[in-house]
Amino acid sequence: MSRSYLQRQVRLMTLIRKLLDLSKNNSNANEAGQALSRAQKLMQKYGISELDAESSSVQEFRTQKAPTDAVKVPQWMDRLVWLMNRAFGCRAYYSWQQNGAGNSHRVVAFCGFGERPTVAAYSFDVLSRQLKEATAAYLKTQSKRLKLATRRARADQFREGWVEGASRMVVDFGASRQEDEVMTHYLDTLALSKTQLREARECRGADIARGTGYVAGKNARLYHGVDGAGQNRLTSKAEVSYE
């Protein structure tokens, strides 16, 4: 598709969305009816549904990176993504991004309304770093004589416990039903492939590792701000400051 075509589509979607908003939020019944009639004619002419128009208002913001580039996404990382979705009323998908050297790395694209995706992506990056530090500290307590497979399995069990602990501190944003429908439609139009997930392997000491992670995860904190992203709803009971 040409750039000019995409620009026309964006303008058309924006116009239809504004007309629909006007039809719903105008106290003048005559003006509201005219706006709705015009929006319906445009949608019929160009084969655009109301959900198509509404989904054009969905914003995307990507994380700096993801904790792992593994083809099969670890269960603990997927749960951390959904934790951010719950906290900020977003939806997300996995993607790949190239750096300056031409190497690809995995990122998480958060989708939603207003500044929510920006804050969700920022929060995911912050918590990912904390999880990485907590896991490194946990592994230092493990015997160096452990088999590599056991060490890795315990690390994954710890991470799953950590995310579960962090989730206990989160207040759900509570996106509206309409927002859920629009975000679902937006993701459907992207025709994304199904994500392959990998659960943490069972191992000796798995319950202890998960329990240790759970306790550590309850201490998860968000401190720094996001430019222009003010959020009244907190993602945890801890102090969270968005400048």
Q: Which domain holds residue 133?
A: 59-217
Question: Which amino acid type is present at position 83?
Answer: L
C-alpha dihedral (183, 191, 105, 3), degrees to nearest 10:
-90
Q: Is residue 225 included in any domain, yes or no? A: no
What are the tokens at 31? Answer: 């003006």
What are the tokens at 102? Answer: 């031409």
Q: Is residue 223 included in any domain, yes or no? A: no
Residues with Cβ within 8 Å of 191's Cβ and at least 6 positions away in sequence, in order, are: none
Q: Return the minimum-mean-pLDDT range out of 55-64, 66-75, 95-104, 112-121.
A: 95-104
- In the predicted structure, residue 235 carries a pLDDT above the cut 80: no
**Number of domain units in the chain:** 2
- How far apart CA 109 and CA 175 sit, in angstroms, is 18
Q: Is residue 130 included in any domain, yes or no? A: yes
Q: What is the CA radius of gyration of the chain?
A: 22
Q: What is the mean pLDDT of residues 44-49?
A: 86
pTM of the model as a whole: 0.81
166, 129 Cβ separation under 8 angstroms: no
Q: Is residue 182 included in any domain, yes or no? A: yes
Q: Return the minimum-mean-pLDDT range out of 23-27, 79-83, 221-225.
A: 221-225
Q: Is residue 143 included in any domain, yes or no? A: yes
C-alpha 158: how far from chain center: 22
Q: Are residues 78 and 47 in the same domain?
A: no
Strands of 59-62's sheet in order across: 59-62, 104-112, 91-98
Q: Are residues 42 and 101 in the same domain?
A: no
Q: Are residues 30 and 126 in the same domain?
A: no
Q: Is residue 236 included in any domain, yes or no? A: no
Q: Are residues 116 and 137 in the same domain?
A: yes
Residue 149's DSSP bridge partners are: none
Q: Which helix (H) or strand (E) holds 56?
A: none
Q: Are residues 19 and 70 in the same domain?
A: no
Q: Are residues 140 and 68 in the same domain?
A: yes
Q: Are residues 10 and 71 in the same domain?
A: no
Residues with Cβ within 8 Å of 33's Cβ and at least 6 positions away in sequence, in order, are: 23
Q: Is residue 226 included in any domain, yes or no? A: no
- How far apart CA 36 and CA 34 sit, in angstroms, is 5
